[in-house]
Structure formats: C-alpha cells, structure tokens
Amino acid sequence: MNSPQCHKCLCEYNRLTEARFWTRILMEHALFIKLGLAPNETKLSAEAQGFVELFESLLNRLNRVKKLNPELLAELIEAVEAIIEFKAKVLRLIIQCEMPPGSNYPLLLDHIRREAERFLKLLVSPMAEDSLALLLQQEVFWLRIMKEHIEFIIHLLDPSERELLKQAHEFRKTFSRLLETARDLDSMAQTSPHRFNDVIQFTQNVIQHTRELRNFKAAAFELDEMCKILGIISDPLLLDHVRREADKFLSELDVLLPEVERCHSSQNR
Ligand SMILES: [Fe+2]
Ligand SMILES: [Fe+2]
C-alpha cells in the first residue's frame, strides 16, 4: 500500500507500510552501531545485538499480519523508544569523551536517531495533513538525510577514490542547496497560500536529483559487493540501506507532488 495516501488534499501515512519499512531500517542501524564500536565495548556490543534481534523478530511479525493490531503497535513503540535512547546514550558517551568513538561518527548516530524519531512520530500520532505542508516538511526532513548520506560516503571512501569522491562532492553541493531552498519554501508555506507554483518546479528538480543520487548509491553498492571500492565501509549493506531510503523519499514524492499539483497550483496568475 502507498504511504502516504491522499484524499481531498489531505495526506496521511499508513502505519503498517511505514512500520515494515522502518523496522528493517532500525534493525540495520543496530547492526551498523555494533560494527562501529571499539573492540573492547563488549557490553554496548551485546546491547546493539539485542536490538538487531528484537527488530528482526518484530519485522517477521509485521510481514505476517494484515493489520497493525494494538498489541504489536505497543511493542513496536516500546522498541523504537528504547533504540532512540540507546543511540542517544552512545552519542552522549562519545560527545563527552567517555568512550572511544570506534568508527561511529557522531553525526551518523544523530542521523539514525532522527530517523527513529520520525518513525516514532508516525506510529504515535499519525495525522492527516494538508498536502502542501506535508510535502515541504518531508522535503526538509529527507533532503537533510540525503545530504548527510553523501557526507558519510565521502568520509568512508579511501582518499584514492578520486573519481567517486568528485561525484560525491558534486552531490553534496547540490543537496545542500536543495535543503536550504526547501527550508525557505517550508517557512513561506506557513502563511498558508492557496497556490504555490514554485514548489511544483522545485519538487520536480528534487525528484530528478534524488533519482541520480539513488542510482549513484545503487552503483556504489554493486561495486562494493564486488570488492571494487577502496574505503572503510564496514558492510556493503550500508550502501543498500541508504539507497532504500532514497527510494522511500522518491515514493513519497510520487504521491505528494500530484496532490499538491491538484490542490495548490494553477496555470494562470
Ligand atoms: Fe538509516
Ligand atoms: Fe539515513
């Protein structure tokens, strides 16, 4: 099922679809944290492994059900709250220099904490929102995520990977620019305009660049799987993970853009 879904200019996320997507993502976050911990952090490593297993079992259950029943929803909310706290704890320990960072970048920990917070919000208070406001909120959220993915890739590639790094730096510039514009448009949209044609063109631009980024991530994943990339990427799965997040962003834009075109644009002035 599509998520979000729109009806009469209001759009709402589908909790089961979101849960299936994000539960796998959170399972992988726990794995990435574990792989990035310094070797002597055995207690945190066991805690991370516990989260891998918890989210794996929740994912298996989510794939079997047709509806998100209250019991499963409650368990899911509890698990997401717990992993948010775990990510915050690891980040805090690093910020306070109370543990060696291993290869977990502080910004990566904050990034995956924000992704989990977003999921929690969709689970706890799913709300139908106006398509224009929702589109811009999603662009602000996801463009920041996309920009950070590029920054992580830049810092995980070997300095000798100059061709890939050159492409990644171009993407970083483009996505920084897009994010800044999304924030401006989101702010302007808080005046509740009936129509906002500029957002349509901006979003078409976002779609085009996100498709290119998605393809870059997919290609990097294939290269890494074939052992054709030099760097310190702990597992090629990380590249597949960020590719799936780009696809999720694109699938949301696919729903929201036509609705905004229908509800908030006009051909004439
Ligand atoms: Fe993620
Ligand atoms: Fe991400």
Residues near ion ligand 1 (CB < 5 Å) are 25, 115
Residue 268 has pLDDT above 60, yes or no: no
CA of 194 to the centre of ligand 1 (A): 35
Q: What's the pLDDT score for residue 143? A: 98
Chain segment 67-90, per-residue pLDDT in tens: 999 999 999 999 999 999 999 999
CA of 269 to the centre of ligand 1 (A): 41
107's tokens:
């910004």
CA of 146 to the centre of ligand 2 (A): 7
- Given this structure, which CATH class describes domain 1-127? mainly alpha
Q: Which CATH architecture has domain 131-269?
A: Up-down Bundle (1.20)
Q: How far apart are CA 269 and CA 255, in angstroms?
A: 25
Give the pTM: 0.97
Share of the chain above pLDDT 70, in %: 99
H or E segment and range at residue 5: strand 5-7
CA of 242 to the centre of ligand 1 (A): 6
Q: How far apart are CA 265 and CA 245, in angstroms?
A: 28
CA of 224 to the centre of ligand 2 (A): 18
Is 131-269 in the same CATH topology as 1-127? Answer: yes
User: Which candidate, 46, 38, 25, 52, places its Cα nearest to that of 112?
Assistant: 25
Task: Write down the domain spans for the chain.
Answer: 1-127, 131-269
DSSP for 54-70, please give it.
Answer: HHHHHHHHHHH-SS--H
pLDDT, averaged across the chain: 96
Chain segment 43-65, per-residue pLDDT in tens: 999 999 999 999 999 999 999 99
Helix runs in 190-236, H state only:
197-225
H or E segment and range at residue 79: helix 70-95
Q: At what angle do helices 162-189 and 197-225 cross, to 10 degrees?
A: 150
User: Which candidate, 114, 169, 173, 107, places its Cα nearest to that of 141?
Assistant: 114
CA of 187 to the centre of ligand 2 (A): 24
- Cβ-count burial of 212 within 10 angstroms (0-12 exposed, 13-18 middle, 19+ buried)? middle
Q: How far apart are CA 103 and CA 188, in angstroms?
A: 39
